[in-house]
């Protein structure tokens, strides 16, 4: 049997590479300009390799009873890791995936296709533009995992964007975002303040080393109008290979401090990661 070989292709926003995992027969790592973007196991879509995707999966698992089909809007596609996860764990779900890089979508569809009956619709479009045109109250879950290069684009960080997210979500829905920052957390604190101005409940999931300011890293923002089981989420994230903490309530307010919501006119992208922050060995 032929061994799978890496695939390299110029896409709209850089150079994408699909690399097979030698330890898992049909598993692939997607990088763009050398930065890891997604990991997919075609035989085991419930497997979430990256820690931040595991944390997003934990929120999905505890926020809604297991197995219930959901309407999910994904802003940012990558190799479609989370759409595949939702399709596997919640059959019958309807999912829209919005990815600005059409050539990247083409690459993924060609080499890592999703089953035709998975209920996943792919759209090549700008995330903010798509969100603004989406029907109100049409999603149970909205997941924002959009990086232009290695930075969250500014137009996906503002109060106006947060209000659009709230409009598209159903009353009991949840907003999830993959963010990245380092101490003193100017970007992260502004995001927490921005979404707290729109949603009644919020939490942050991140590794203790990141929260203590020791290194640059990912943080998952959770926002909703409905209270959720932060204790159950904390138990799950603490049991991971790379444990994470869940900040909410008073500790989250302390982190936010005097940060204010940001508007479109003063929004900025997330900070540039230091060299090697998201590299692979």
- Could you read off the pLDDT of 207-224 as tens digits, one per residue? 999 999 999 999 999 999
Q: How far apart are the first and last CA of the chain?
A: 27
Backbone angles phi, psi at 186, to 5 degrees: -60, -45
DSSP string, 41-55: ETT-TT---SHHHHH
The conformation of residue 245, written as its DSSP 8-state character, comes to E
- Could you read off the pLDDT of 67-112 as tens digits, one per residue? 999 999 999 999 999 999 999 999 999 999 999 999 999 999 999 9
Cα–Cα distance for residue pair 59/36, rounded to 1 Å: 22
- Could you read off the pLDDT of 190-210 as tens digits, one per residue? 999 999 999 999 999 999 999
| Model pLDDT, residue 149 | 76
Cα–Cα distance for residue pair 119/88, rounded to 1 Å: 11
Whether the model pTM is above 0.85: yes
Model confidence at 275, in pLDDT bands (50, 70, 90)?
confident
Closest CA to 165 of 115, 213, 217, 202: 202
Does 255 score more than 90 pLDDT? yes
Burial of 252 per CB tally in 10 Å (0-12, 13-18, 19+):
middle
- Could you read off the pLDDT of 158-180 as tens digits, one per residue? 999 999 999 999 999 999 999 99
Give the angle 149-190-83 at the CA atoms, nearest 5°: 50
């Amino acid at each position: 049997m032929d061994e799978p070989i890496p695939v390299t292709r110029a896409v709209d926003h850089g150079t994408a590479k699909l690399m097979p995992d030698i330890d898992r027969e049909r598993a692939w790592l997607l990088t763009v300009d050398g930065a890891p973007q997604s990991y997919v196991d075609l035989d085991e879509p419930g497997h979430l390799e990256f820690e931040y995707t595991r944390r997003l999966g934990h929120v999905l698992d505890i926020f809604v009873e297991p197995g219930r089909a959901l309407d999910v809007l994904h802003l940012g596609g990558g190799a479609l890791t989370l759409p595949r996860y939702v399709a596997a764990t919640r059959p019958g779900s309807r999912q829209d995936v919005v990815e600005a890089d059409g050539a990247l979508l083409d690459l993924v569809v060609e080499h890592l296709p999703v089953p035709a009956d998975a209920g996943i619709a792919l759209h090549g479009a700008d995330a903010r533009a798509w969100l603004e045109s989406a029907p109100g109250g049409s999603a149970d879950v909205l997941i924002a995992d959009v990086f232009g290069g290695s930075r969250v684009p500014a137009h996906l960080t503002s109060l106006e964007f947060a209000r659009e997210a709230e409009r598209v979500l159903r009353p009991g829905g949840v907003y999830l975002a993959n963010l990245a920052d380092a101490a003193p957390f100017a970007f992260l604190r502004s995001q927490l303040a921005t979404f707290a101005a729109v949603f009644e409940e919020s939490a942050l999931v991140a590794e203790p080393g990141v929260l203590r300011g020791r290194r640059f890293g990912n943080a998952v923002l959770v926002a909703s109008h409905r209270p959720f089981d932060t204790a159950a989420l904390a138990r799950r994230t603490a049991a991971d290979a790379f444990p994470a903490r869940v900040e909410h309530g008073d500790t989250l307010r302390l982190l936010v401090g005097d940060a204010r919501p940001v508007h479109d006119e003063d929004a900025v992208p997330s900070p540039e990661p230091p060299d090697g922050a998201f590299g692979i060995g």
